[in-house]
Amino acid sequence: LSSNYLDILGSQKLSGHIRVSGAKNSSLVLMVAALLTDSSVFLSNVPLLSDVESMSKILLSMGLKLRRNQNQLEIITSGLSLFSKNLSCEVFHELRASFFCIGPLLARFGEVKIPLPGGCRIGARPIDEHIQGLRALGAIVETKNEYVVAKTISPQKRLIGARIKFNCKSVGATETILMAATLAQGTTILENAAQEPEIQDLAMMLNEMGAKIQGAGTSQIKIEGVDHLNGCSYTVMPDRIEAGTFLVAAAITRSPLTLSPVIPEHLETVILKLQECGCLIECKGDTLRIIPRKNLQAVDIITSPFPGFPTDLQAPFMALMATVKGISKIEETVFEDRMQHLREFQRMGAKILLDGNTAYVIGTNNLKATSITGGDLRSCAAMVLVSLAANGTSVVRGLEYLDRGYEDFAGKLNAVGANISKVYSIPLASDECD
Ligand code: UD1
């Protein structure tokens, strides 16, 4: 674990504009999608994050070459040499999205052996939907020791289109099977597909590469398999979760902020909840302006797959609810173990009761700064947010999580008036997350 930490002076007002970075979760899967072609893929607006670095290491370990210039990333896939190497478990364990590689690799080569994924500590996060989907496309899939081994059964070594109904809405499984089906023989229909904007972003890039995908963003996706995909140039969409986090930063400090670029439709549920609790939100093109009222009120949220309230903003929203008038009921339905941040908020004086996966948050305007630690990416962001509202100087640890998913988080907040300093000390060991 990194022993670096942030010193955050609370109760500072913010004002100004924050630039929203490219989406982390899109970037990761778009990098994986490059494995579907033997030509180069140019991505723009790729955020500078440790998760992107981890995915880069994974692609490098397969023989790909990468050229990076700030937020531009060129992925040169011609050197892909999967079967000459035993892929290192260590680098695959660094992030869960590593497992998405199974779809493209199996579709292109007819066989694959990749390490089981890592992931944030927010519940079991199984991979059964990915595996069942690949089996439905005509693959034999087995788990051996730390690896998943998969092989196509058709003599042409190709996957075969099928009708697949997912048992649960999974972003990762939808992405894995979507990528695999682009190069399958025949047509695939995905039912009960996840509808997250990241899936639309992936389908848009794949279609640029020559895939034939319709319906991404709805619960039914149709994919007509093609023989070959080309390279492409593609710009990663803005990060809706980062934007949502900054909206909460404005609300929790009762300060006006302007954010761009955003795709407002990606944030509809979040915007509605913030309006319900007393924030004025103006939307012009790709720009959002939030003006919170002084007296915000508690609102209830239930996390659910898109277009529902995103689980990734549950912890930031709980931070906000800890500071407003009234009692808020917050129910987590996507992950079974995503309430660890609650204990840290309680240590600052927040009154929160937990009943299973439902938290009852009794807001107060008197949170006291202390030393708190984020246990996963989004809860660490929530630690920073709650510190912005507390009286005094807080210490926030767990930055190895924050750096995975937020580009220059402290720097962006400081540029609009926060008072956050990063304190460097000697690292102890490495760790993993989502
Ligand atoms: C992705 C996001 C993560 C976000 C999550 C939900 C990436 C890299 N990460 O994670 O930030 O919090 O979506 O919006 O894009 N499940 C199964 N079987 C499976 C797969 C999933 O039961 O085979 C369950 C999970 O345990 C979980 C739920 O489905 O309870 C949703 O998981 P999923 O949508 O797959 O999340 P990820 O793709 O891992």
Report helix, strand or coil for 192. coil
Taking the CB of residue 81, how many other CB atoms lie within 10 A of it?
Answer: 9
Atom of ligand 1 nearest to the CA of 24: 8
Counting ligand 1 atoms within 8 A of each CB, the residue from 125, 135, 202, 434 with the most, and so the one to mutate, is 125
pLDDT value at residue 433: 44
Stretch 304-320: mean pLDDT:
98
Task: Please count the CA atoms within 13 angstroms of the CA of 124 that sit on its side-chain side.
Answer: 4
397 lines ligand 1 (CB under 6 A): no
Stretch 27-32: mean pLDDT:
98
pLDDT digits (tens, 9 = 90+) for 162-217: 999 999 999 999 999 999 999 999 999 999 999 999 999 999 999 999 999 999 99
Question: What kind and span of H or E run contains 9?
Answer: strand 5-9
| Interval between CA 127 and ligand 1 midpoint (Å) | 9
pLDDT value at residue 119: 55
379 lines ligand 1 (CB under 6 A): no
pLDDT value at residue 431: 47
55 lines ligand 1 (CB under 6 A): no
Please determine, for residue 314, whether its predicted confidence score (pLDDT) is greater than 80. yes
Atom of ligand 1 nearest to the CA of 25: 15
Confidence at 140, pLDDT banded by 50, 70, 90: very high
Catalytically active residues are: 120
How large a percentage of the chain has pLDDT more than 90?
88
DSSP label at residue 126: -
The C-alpha angle 341, 271, 124, rounded to 5 degrees, equals 35
Tokens of 417: 């008036």
pTM of the entire predicted model: 0.96
Atom of ligand 1 nearest to the CA of 306: 14
Report helix, strand or coil for 19. strand
Stretch 10-19: mean pLDDT:
98
Q: What is the largest CA-CA distance in the chain?
A: 68
Please determine, for residue 396, whether its predicted confidence score (pLDDT) is greater than 90. yes
List the residue whose alpha carbon is closest to atom 12 of ligand 1.
312
Confidence at 121, pLDDT banded by 50, 70, 90: low
Closest to 247 in 3D by CA, of 198, 287, 219, 301: 287
| Interval between CA 13 and ligand 1 midpoint (Å) | 35
Confidence at 116, pLDDT banded by 50, 70, 90: confident
Task: Please count the CA atoms within 13 angstroms of the CA of 39 that sit on its side-chain side.
Answer: 11
pLDDT value at residue 432: 45
170 lines ligand 1 (CB under 6 A): yes
Atom of ligand 1 nearest to the CA of 130: 23
pLDDT value at residue 88: 80
pLDDT value at residue 330: 98
Tokens of 145: 């020791």
Average pLDDT, the chain: 94
pLDDT value at residue 321: 98
pLDDT digits (tens, 9 = 90+) for 221-243: 999 999 999 999 999 999 999 99
pLDDT value at residue 122: 54
Q: Which of 80-89, 116-125, 272-281, 353-362 has the lowest mean pLDDT?
A: 116-125
Q: Cβ neighbours of residue 422 under 8 Å, at least 6 residues apart?
A: 4, 5, 6, 399, 410
The C-alpha angle 213, 214, 215, rounded to 5 degrees, equals 130
User: Which residues in 93-211 belong to E strands, given as ranges?
Assistant: 111-115, 139-144, 147-152, 163-165, 187-191
Amino acid making up residue 384: V
Please determine, for residue 90, whether its predicted confidence score (pLDDT) is greater than 90. no
Tokens of 61: 């370990």
129 lines ligand 1 (CB under 6 A): yes
pLDDT value at residue 118: 65
Confidence at 286, pLDDT banded by 50, 70, 90: very high
Closest to 190 in 3D by CA, of 171, 206, 172, 174: 174
Stretch 67-95: mean pLDDT:
85
Give the C-alpha separation, 306 to 266, whole Å. 9
